[in-house]
Amino acid sequence: MSYQKSETYKTETTNGLAELYRGAISLLGEDATREGLQKTPERVAKAMQYMTQGYHMDARAILGSARFREPYSEMVIVKDIELYSMCEHHLLPFFGKAHIAYIPNGWITGLSKLARVVDCYARRLQVQERMTHQILDVIQETLNPLGVAVVIEAKHLCMMMRGVSKQNSITTTSAFSGQFEAQETRAEFLKLITADLH
């Protein structure tokens, strides 16, 4: 996804946020008027709007716009979908990869749409566990497949930069529905994605 052009930002939102960030910079002990920081509040205001643009995206519409009739009923897997989100407890990024699979039941979707669905939920204030289920639920509800599997592995800057400082820990979450609740199908999916898990 290309960077959003400045004219698509809401001026009122940008100005309001910039004002608040200017105050935050001062409270943190900096001189918000010094040269290097003069335009920072406005930049942060725009960056934050970009990183939370998922609130203005509709995952159902994304999947619904690309539903195709197809008798294919083998597992469809999209691995290693890049993911950038923001922890709602600290407003710090977490980032990693999503792996999604579904077993069609007469309907398939464009593979790129699954990546857009991930963006739709990632670009919000999130917790990884909830996002995992939101992605599963919208695929289940929109495509009505025989099953859905979602695995997300991510590093959380709030764990790496502060507090416990667990530099290398990766949080893995997963959610399964339908046929993926069966041990054998789930195992096949996990085997197919595990080659790239690290």
Which residues of this protein are in contact with Zn ion, per CB under 5 A? 87, 89-90, 158
Given the complex with Zn ion, which of 168 and 183 has the nearer CB atom? 168
Could you tell me which residues are beta bridge partners of residue 153?
97, 172
Given the complex with Zn ion, which of 84 and 107 has the nearer CB atom? 84
**β-strand 76-87 against 125-126: which pairing, if any?**
parallel
126, 128, 134, 179: the catalytic one is 128
CA pair distance 191, 198, nearest whole angstrom: 13
- Which residue minimizes CB distance to Zn ion? 158
> Is there a catalytic annotation at residue 56?
no
32: left (phi over 0), alpha (psi -120 to 50) or beta: alpha
Could you tell me which residues are beta bridge partners of residue 154?
96, 171
> Is there a catalytic annotation at residue 158?
yes
Question: CA dist 99 to 14, 83, 110, 148, 167, Å?
Answer: 34, 10, 15, 11, 23
Given the complex with Zn ion, which of 158 and 192 has the nearer CB atom? 158
**Where are any strands of DSSP class E within the chain?**
67-69, 76-87, 93-103, 107-109, 125-126, 147-156, 171-178
89, 129, 141, 181: the catalytic one is 89
CB of 136 to Zn ion, least distance (A): 22
CB of 88 to Zn ion, least distance (A): 8
> Is there a catalytic annotation at residue 49?
no
CB of 78 to Zn ion, least distance (A): 27
CA pair distance 99, 10, nearest whole angstrom: 33
> Is there a catalytic annotation at residue 89?
yes
53, 90, 133, 188: the catalytic one is 90
Given the complex with Zn ion, which of 60 and 89 has the nearer CB atom? 89
CB of 176 to Zn ion, least distance (A): 25
88, 129, 141, 181: the catalytic one is 88
CA pair distance 116, 1, nearest whole angstrom: 9
> Is there a catalytic annotation at residue 198?
no
Active site residues: 87-90, 128, 156, 158
